[in-house]
Structure 1
Amino acid sequence: MSYTLIFDMDGTLFQTDKILELALEETFDYLRLEGLWEKTAPVEEYRTIMGVPLQVVWETLLPDHPNDIRAKVNVIFLEILIENIRAGKGALYPNVEKVLDYLTTKSYSLFIASNGLPEYLAAIVDYYKLDRWIKETFSIQQIESQNKSDLVRTIIEKYDVEKGAVIGDRLSDIQAAKDNYLLAIGCNFDFAQQDELAQADEVIDDLTQLKDLVATLQL
């Protein structure tokens, strides 16, 4: 039986932190020019909610702004993120390619399930050629509920998944695994919260640990 491993993207495979601050600063520069923002860009506040859908991001960071402004800001932010990815300003986490290659040779089926938008995810997959190992990348935008548990269920149903794990850094990843009776592997990386990781079945500090973990666990 082929085991399935479903990866989160931001804060799990991709070091979003490397392009996040620059993109936020440029986005909020636009708001300042429009007279819609006076303070510094809320970088630290974004870090605490990293991994939620972008709609929730702008509802949180811009609670007093109308939806049309949030929509415009979202477009600007996404464009800047993609420009930075294509310019090579981002980075995968250490050993991502080595680990994905190893898992593929061991016949694991690999997928990505992310709260990121399709264009953003495609930019990362294309730049780093992740489709060498990843069978398919799924965005939260593909499902009406905007719920990661439902997104993971989409993968399970499409590919007849029976056993596997969800690997991610935030509670939505852990919950998605548990709601779908998969193993929850928490990544203690940049955006991880210790109270959330405490709910995972297993926690790793480096992706290389995944090689031994999946080999010894009965998923």
Structure 2
Amino acid sequence: MTIERQGRPDAVIFDMDGTLFETDKLLIPVHERVFRTLREEGLYVEEAPPAERLLSCLGMLLDDIWREIMPGSSEAARRRADELLLQYELEGLLAGEGALYPYVEETLQQLKEDGVKLFVASNGLEGYVKGVAEQKGIASLFDGVYSAGEYNTASKVDLVARLLQDHHLDFPASIWMVGDRSSDVEAGRGNGLKTIGCAYARYGRASELEDADVQINDFRELLELRL
């Protein structure tokens, strides 16, 4: 294991939505299609929740999201919503919809050139998380892309623990967890990592990042941090 390099990390684990990927540019039109199809299929006939409500739930496990925004929905409706969400998100990505936050690609490139191992840990579906990385041209920069959908983990704390174990990342390595929601901060702190809150994201409450070791307002700040 490499020795900590004066505050620079040996590895950085990133959330996807609201951290690397500006999700609303893809998810708002997808949201409309999902609920239109559910209504057409008779699986959820209540009024569709506002897209902003779905965006505010990003970072949660999908089943918890559907229970939150589709109260009283059946398991069949939630499973179908999973299928439709993935289908429409992938179609949107293939069509070029959605965008990385400013300076994400070049900052990841620089970290990679500096010898930092890069990972993704997301509570999203496997096909979506890997699809964003592939379609936006950053998949090759990561040493691993982990999702709750692939590993069926109960929390992001568990998902990050699995990642750390698989890649033999432990003390004395310096490892950072970077994300925009309280679940990211909890995942980092729960695994003994330094936590960085992305205050530029708009999907959660500012208070969710209060326990992060540091907050950033521009992705490029990662290159200057010493923790």
Q: TM-score range by the shorter chain?
A: over 0.9
The alignment status of 1:87 with 2:99, answered yes or no, reads: no
Contact 1:25–1:41, Cα closer than 8 Å, also in 2: no
Q: 1:114: which partner in 2?
A: 122
- Alpha-carbon distance, 1:40 to partner: 4.1
> Retained in 2: the 8 A contact 1:104–1:133?
yes
Give the letter for the 2:87 counterpart. Answer: E
Give the Å deviation of 1:45.
1.6
> Structure 1: where are the runs of 5+ without partners?
none
1:12-51 equivalence runs, <5 A: 12-35=19-42, 36-51=44-59
- 1:34 is displaced (CA, Å) by 3.8
Q: In the alignment, which residue of structure 1 is the partner of 2:109?
A: 101
Query: Once the 2 structures are TM-superposed, how far is the Cα of residue 131 of structure 1 from its aligned partner?
Result: 2.4
With structure 1 as the length reference, what TM-score do the two structures score?
0.93
Residue 156, structure 1, aligned to residue 164, structure 2: yes
Question: What secondary structure is seen at the aligned counterpart in 1 of 2:224?
Answer: helix
How far does residue 192 in structure 1 lie from its aligned partner after superposition? 3.3
Paired AA for residue 78 in structure 1:
L
1:140-183 Cα deviation digits (max 9, x unpaired): 13434421111111111111213211000001110011011100
What is the one-letter code of the residue matched to 1:201? D
What fraction of aligned residue pairs are identical, expressed as a percent? 34
Counterpart of 1:4 in structure 2: which amino acid? A
Is 1:175 matched up with 2:186? yes
Partner of 2:219: 207
* Cα distance in structure 2, aligned partners of 1:47 and 1:131: 24
Query: 1:102 offset after TM fit, Å?
Result: 0.6
Q: State the alpha-carbon separation in 1 of the partners of residues 204 and 179 from structure 2.
A: 9
- Partners of 1:136 and 1:144 lie apart in 2 by 16
Confirm or deny: 8 A CA contact 2:38 2:77 kept in the other structure: no
Give the 3-state SS of the residue equivalent to 1:138 in structure 2.
strand
Q: For the residues of structure 2 that align with 1:31 and 1:117, how far apart are their CA atoms?
A: 19
Q: Is the 8 A contact 1:169 1:186 kept in 2?
A: yes
Q: TM-score, normalised by structure 2?
A: 0.90
Equivalent position of 1:73 in the other structure: 81
What is the match of residue 210 of structure 2? 198
Q: Distance in 2 between matches of 1:195 and 1:105?
A: 34
Q: Give the unaligned 5+ runs of structure 2.
A: 4-9
Give the ranges of 4+ consecutive aligned residues of structure 1 lying more than 6 Å apart after TM superposition.
none
For the structure 1 residues 54 and 4, does the alpha-carbon distance in structure 2 shift closer, same or farther, using more than 3 Å as the test?
A: same
Partner residue of 2:7? none
Deviation of 1:38 after TM superposition, in Å, equals: 4.3
Once the two structures are TM-superposed, the CA of residue 72 in structure 1 deviates from its matched residue by 1.1
Deviations 1:96-155 (A, max 9, x none): 111001101111110000011111112112112212211110011343442111111111
